[in-house]
Structure 1
């Protein structure tokens, strides 16, 4: 990997962290989903580096708990979903994907609880978070609908990795 690639990946990872911290006071309203979608479309496989650096930075700041393990696979799940739809040009499709991701965030994050505590624990944890998942899904839809095109254009001009 080139030094330029490492520098850009580091900066984009830091940007995710800053955006997450800046909106931390708003429960389940975040820009990370939008940026992982954009990074995946623009950078492809290099996005995985960004995701894992972001997760490690979050762990360093907030501690390495069960939630941290979730971040390793939840954001990777989004990456693969974007790769599957990568040739799509419709902002509505990206907004719907982001919304579905937000709505399913709790279900995806409940997997360790299923493994650790069994079916009851996993389902209870998931159900308890449904109101937050609804906010997450709606906010992701609106954020992607409004910011996808302008942010895509800005990042496309600024990111030039071979």
Structure 2
């Protein structure tokens, strides 16, 4: 996946946009546009969407500290990317927005569960401790999932803007 100078610049800006959007929305717990951006970037850039995603992950660690909380970020966003990559490309146009919103929402609802394996590896949690940890985080995962669903309404407009920009640049 060789990148052009334009793509390197674009992906750096998109990764920075992800980070800045997270910082701006930090006052609202578990409400952010990160899932929206991951889905939209994946729909437009496919495999190359991993570049802005991991730029965001790096920026998050750089500014907030490369600590234990950061380690799951190395795989959590890739799971959402993978879910989107598995979606059929030829879905009916009317179905796409709701599917994208549901995938984004599912990732939010599952965030604590996806985060849990690191608890086993780093802290030696047994399955009972992991289950308790997941259950304790359910209220936050519910906020995350519901907000991801509603924020997911932005996916199609973002995809439209990015696709038009890409089409314009290709001319």
Same fold (TM over 0.5): yes
Between the aligned partners of 1:153 and 1:49, the Cα distance in structure 2 is 20
Aligned residues of 2:109 and 2:142 also touching (Cα < 8 A)? yes
What corresponds to 2:108 in structure 1?
102
Cα shift readout 1:60-85 (whole Å, capped 9, x = no counterpart): 11101122111110000000000001
Cα shift readout 1:105-151 (whole Å, capped 9, x = no counterpart): 00001111022322233222211111000011111111113x12222
- Work out which of the residue numbers 56, 59, 66 in structure 1 matches 2:58: 56
**Off by >6 Å, runs of 4+ in structure 1:** none
Structure 2 unaligned regions, length at least 5: none
Structure 1 unaligned regions, length at least 5: none
- Work out which of the residue numbers 140, 144, 148 in structure 2 matches 1:136: 144
Aligned residues of 1:95 and 1:141 also touching (Cα < 8 A)? yes
What corresponds to 1:117 in structure 2?
124
Q: Calculate the TM-score normalised by the size of structure 2.
A: 0.88
The answer to whether the aligner puts 1:44 opposite 2:52 as a matched pair is: no
Aligned length: 161
Between the aligned partners of 2:139 and 2:18, the Cα distance in structure 1 is 24
Aligned residues of 2:15 and 2:56 also touching (Cα < 8 A)? yes
- Work out which of the residue numbers 139, 150, 154 in structure 1 matches 2:157: 150
